[in-house]
Amino acid sequence: MRFNAGHALNYFNVQPVAAIAGVRELHIGHAIVSRAVFFGMREAVKEMKRLMREVGA
Protein backbone atom coordinates (compact mmCIF):
# COMPACT_ATOMS: atom_id res chain seq x y z
CA MET A 1 0.00 0.00 0.00
CA ARG A 2 1.23 3.52 -0.78
CA PHE A 3 -0.09 6.66 0.81
CA ASN A 4 0.53 10.37 1.24
CA ALA A 5 1.12 12.08 4.58
CA GLY A 6 0.69 15.66 5.57
CA HIS A 7 -1.09 18.20 7.71
CA ALA A 8 1.03 19.38 10.62
CA LEU A 9 4.32 17.91 9.38
CA ASN A 10 7.27 20.04 10.37
CA TYR A 11 11.02 19.94 10.94
CA PHE A 12 10.60 18.12 14.27
CA ASN A 13 8.24 15.32 13.26
CA VAL A 14 8.91 14.68 9.55
CA GLN A 15 11.52 11.94 10.03
CA PRO A 16 9.36 9.36 11.83
CA VAL A 17 6.58 9.87 9.30
CA ALA A 18 8.94 9.73 6.31
CA ALA A 19 10.35 6.45 7.65
CA ILE A 20 6.97 4.68 7.50
CA ALA A 21 6.96 2.07 4.75
CA GLY A 22 4.70 3.02 1.87
CA VAL A 23 4.82 6.79 2.29
CA ARG A 24 4.85 8.10 -1.24
CA GLU A 25 4.49 11.85 -0.76
CA LEU A 26 4.86 14.31 2.11
CA HIS A 27 2.88 17.55 2.23
CA ILE A 28 5.18 19.92 4.09
CA GLY A 29 4.72 23.24 2.31
CA HIS A 30 3.46 25.22 5.28
CA ALA A 31 6.44 24.28 7.45
CA ILE A 32 8.91 25.20 4.70
CA VAL A 33 7.29 28.56 3.95
CA SER A 34 7.10 29.40 7.66
CA ARG A 35 10.78 28.62 8.16
CA ALA A 36 11.70 30.53 5.01
CA VAL A 37 10.47 33.75 6.62
CA PHE A 38 13.45 33.56 8.98
CA PHE A 39 16.07 31.60 7.01
CA GLY A 40 15.19 32.07 3.34
CA MET A 41 13.55 29.59 0.98
CA ARG A 42 16.78 27.98 -0.18
CA GLU A 43 17.90 27.12 3.37
CA ALA A 44 14.43 26.01 4.44
CA VAL A 45 14.13 23.54 1.55
CA LYS A 46 17.72 22.36 1.97
CA GLU A 47 17.16 21.54 5.66
CA MET A 48 13.89 19.68 5.00
CA LYS A 49 15.48 17.63 2.21
CA ARG A 50 18.38 16.77 4.53
CA LEU A 51 15.98 15.53 7.20
CA MET A 52 14.08 13.37 4.72
CA ARG A 53 17.26 11.93 3.18
CA GLU A 54 18.52 10.86 6.61
CA VAL A 55 15.65 8.37 6.81
CA GLY A 56 15.80 7.39 3.17
CA ALA A 57 12.64 9.19 2.04
Q: At residue 38, what are phi and psi to the nearest 5 degrees?
A: -95, -30
% of the chain residues with pLDDT over 70: 98
pLDDT of the residue at 56: 81
% of the chain residues with pLDDT over 90: 70
Q: For the chain, which residues make up each domain, given as ranges?
A: 3-54
pTM, two decimal places: 0.82
Q: At residue 49, what are phi and psi to the nearest 5 degrees?
A: -65, -40
What mean pLDDT value characterizes the chain? 92
**Cα of 49 vs its chain's centroid, Å:** 7
Rounded CA separation 34/40 (Å): 10
Neighbours of 53 (CB within 10 A): 10
Q: Is 30 helix (H, G, I), strand (E, B) or coil?
A: helix
What average pLDDT does the segment 32-52 reach? 96
